[in-house]
Amino acid sequence: MPEASNGDTTLYYDTMGSSDNPTILLIMGLGAQMVAFREEFCQLLVDAGFHIVRFDNRDVGLSSKTSGTPPALQELLGAQGQDPSDLNVPYVLSDMSDDAIAVLDAIGVDKAHLVGVSMGGMIAQTIVIEHPERILSLTSIMSTTGNPEVGAAKPELMMKMPLSVPTSKEEAIANSVETFRLISGPHFDPEDHANETAETYDRNWNPNAQGFQIAAIFASGDRTEALRTVEIPTLVIHGRLDPLVQISGGEATASAVPNSKLVVFDDMGHDLPEVLWADITDEIINHAQTTPGN
């Protein structure tokens, strides 16, 4: 089983395509396993001449799990306005950034293109801030800067979201379908999502994953000023209909990073619908191919 190590944390990963080609490292979002980047999506990038690497973030899939109980969401919300570094959490986005670099080290890749989705976009932003020498380009998808004034979820969405932790496979599937029905755009397919959730549950489901990862996000603070210093070519992709990380988060990211490009899909929410795979991967491919040193 291919694994990378960052201290005591092990990260499961896999690859597609020839390692002789430029590498794109894919980083998935909150609570999601690497297989949420579907093989067919990855194949579009492979066919364009890229070496694709995807991995399970810590606390999901086949990677290491954090022991103990994650902080309660109410506790984290109550701490808003405090110095994020005062929060007592087991890890932050910088640690997850180091996880991604450990994966690149394990496969012997010196420089890679980054594509991060949602929380994965936050991790990718952190990587270009902290490890710019390892990165050729950044694509940040449906993500935000960490500034609480932008990219917040719609209040009416949070009133409807299922927040209880499922205690069975059936509950996990039902909760995930309902969550993605609320946050996705018009192309959401509930049957396909139910099948995907069943597969990831069986692969290795961790009920504490989202709690620990949300805590890492809260404790990592605002990246806006650091993003203003980024010199890595940056593409920002967002869905106009995104109710979970509203489009102001993507706009703020593009505004912060000098010379970045913002692409908005009018029929996309907080999801990667199959009908848009060709368009999304075309943007990623064109961005990577035009990056100096690719």
Per-residue model confidence (pLDDT) at position 165: 84
Within a domain: 185: no
Can you give the pLDDT at residue 24?
98
Domain count, the chain: 1
- The arithmetic mean of pLDDT across residues 171-182, rounded, is 96
Spell out the residues 6+ positions from residue 2 whose beta carbon is closer than 8 angstroms to its own.
12, 13, 14, 15, 106
Instruction: Please indicate, yes or no, if residue 22 is contained in any of the structural domains.
Output: yes
Is residue 8 in a domain? yes
Q: What pLDDT, on a 0 to 100 scale, did the predictor assign at position 162? A: 83
Residue 78: per-residue pLDDT: 64
Confidence at residue 84, expressed as pLDDT on a 0 to 100 scale: 66
Which strand ranges, in their side-by-side order, compose the sheet holding 261-265?
A: 3-6, 9-16, 51-55, 23-27, 112-117, 135-141, 234-239, 261-265
DSSP of the chain: --EEEETTEEEEEEEES-TTSPEEEEE--TT--GGGS-HHHHHHHHHTT-EEEEEPPTTSTTS----S-PPPHHHHHHTTTS-GGGS--S--HHHHHHHHHHHHHHHT-SSEEEEEETHHHHHHHHHHHH-GGGEEEEEEES---S-TTSSPPPHHHHHHS--SPPSSHHHHHHHHHHHHHHHS-TT--HHHHHHHHHHHHHHH--TTHHHHHHHHHHTT---HHHHTT--S-EEEEEETT-SSS-HHHHHHHHHHSTT-EEEEETT--SS--GGGHHHHHHHHHHHHHTSTT-
Q: Has residue 96 been placed in a domain?
A: yes
C-alpha distances (whole Å) from 81 to each of 39, 86, 148, 216 are: 41, 11, 9, 16
Domain that includes residue 48, residue range: 3-153+208-289
Instruction: Report yes or no on 82 lying in a domain.
Output: yes
Are the beta carbons of 167 and 205 closer than 8 angstroms? no
Residue 130 lies in a domain: yes
Q: Residue 252 has which token pair? A: 């703020």
pLDDT at 4 over 80: yes
Please, what is the average pLDDT of the chain? 95
Predicted local distance difference test score (pLDDT) of residue 164? 79
What is the percentage of the chain residues whose pLDDT exceeds 90?
88
Q: pLDDT confidence of 115, banded at 50, 70, 90?
A: very high
Side chain identity, residue 219: A
- Give mean pLDDT, residues 170-193: 96
pLDDT of 77 higher than 70: no
pLDDT at 237: 98
Q: What is the pLDDT of residue 34?
A: 98
Count of alpha carbons within 13 angstroms of residue 22, beta-carbon side: 22
pLDDT given at position 88: 83
Name, in order, each residue with C-beta under 8 angstroms of 126's C-beta and a sequence gap of 6 or more: 93, 94, 96, 97, 220, 223
The verdict on residue 180 lying in a domain is no
Mean pLDDT of 40-55: 98
Output 71 or 276, whichever has higher pLDDT: 276
pLDDT higher than 80, residue 290: yes
**pLDDT value of residue 213:** 96
**pLDDT(267) > 90:** yes
Of 30, 13, 52, nearest in space to 281 by CA: 52
Residues near 40 by beta carbon (within 8 Å), at least 6 away in sequence? 274, 277
What percent of the chain has a predicted confidence (pLDDT) above 70? 96
Q: At what angle do helices 93-107 and 119-130 cross, to 10 degrees?
A: 70
pLDDT at 79: 64
Cα–Cα distance for residue pair 55/57, rounded to 1 Å: 6
Q: What is the CATH number of the domain that holds 227?
A: 3.40.50.1820
pLDDT at 82 over 80: no
Residue 93 lies in a domain: yes
Q: Give the residue-averaged pLDDT of 191-205.
A: 97
Averaged pLDDT for residues 73-88: 69
